[in-house]
Amino acid sequence: MDTTAYLTRLGLPSLLGAPPSAENLRALHTAHVERVPYEALEIWLGRRTTVDPEESAARILKGRGGYCYHLNGAFSALLRSLGYDVTRHVGGVQMRHSEPGITGNHLVLTARGLPSDDNPGGEWMVDVGLGDALHEPLPLVEGTYRQGPFTYGLRRSEVAPGGWRLDHDPSGSFLGMDFALDPAEMSAFADMHEHLTTSPESGFVRVAVVQRRDAYGVDCLRGLSLTRYGNTSLSVTLDSARDYFAALNDVFGLPLDDVSAQEKDALWSKVHAAQEAWLAARAS
């Protein structure tokens, strides 16, 4: 992995060679969620991906993003290259109307040995792959945490012995996420990645989702519905391919330079058809 290029992508080339610290971890985390969008457009482009962190990092360096396995996988590799003590864990995101569990549908990270004034123990929950959730890492300490307009809770998990539970803000896209503390290899997520990227039951397959968090809120594109949550509220429907690709570029930092004109036409056709089908189903 090209650590220098990755830091440049995050706008933090000065951190090359900087010692690991809570302050630097926070800077890396916030830059990542602000500059590298949460997206699964490769599915809609008909491109296969793996959970290999170096593959994910290479795609990020080309101006793209990914979802949790890609984003946290690549970020963990970056942190390790910078000398951070980082561990990967199997987690489970709980959607609305579902039960909590360690389903493996999420990869979460912890970092240790980084004491700060607000976290003397120096252990942190690190997650740049939750879409509309964390902006900064959280102290791995039970409590309630405010980040911009959103409030999160961190407590001991009731489904993962010794593990942790993140309770999302009530306005968020999911209820919460549990994770076990046992270290995990990336291979632990391969089967679920296959399911999430190919199954008709997968939310990523049903809806083309793009999200980007910043200090003041989150931008979310679901199909052709663009919504801003947080400091301001805004919701519009993108009615043309021109508006759709302009939003990807201007709002989410996704110029799609790696996508041909023919692929863009096919992507627009698929997303537009899915939106029309959703509208028809809602009307009936």
Residue 176 parent element (H or E): strand 176-179
Find the range with the poorest average confidence among 41-45, 176-180, 231-235: 231-235
Name the residue among 223, 203, 221 with its Cα closest to residue 275: 223
Question: Residue 140 has which token pair?
Answer: 């791995």
Amino acid (1-letter code) at residue 207: V
Instruction: For residue 114, give its domain range.
Output: 3-192
Each residue's pLDDT tens digit, 185-216: 999 999 999 999 999 999 999 999 999 999 99
The CATH number of whichever domain residue 242 belongs to comes to 3.30.2140.10
Whole-structure pTM value: 0.97
CA 66 to chain centre: 7
> What is the C-alpha separation between 182 and 160, in angstroms, rounded?
10
Of 137, 171, 192, the last residue of a domain is 192
Residues 178 and 212 in one domain: no
Say whether both 187 and 200 belong to one domain.
no
Nearest to 37 by CA among 223, 212, 220: 212
- The model's pLDDT over 120-155, given as tens digits with 9 standing for 90+, comes to 999 999 999 999 999 999 999 999 999 999 999 999
**Of the candidates 137, 140, 13, 11, which has an alpha carbon nearest to the alpha carbon of residue 82?**
13
Identify the domain boundary among 144, 171, 192.
192
Average pLDDT value for residue range 16-36: 98
Point out the domain boundary residue: 129, 159, 192.
192
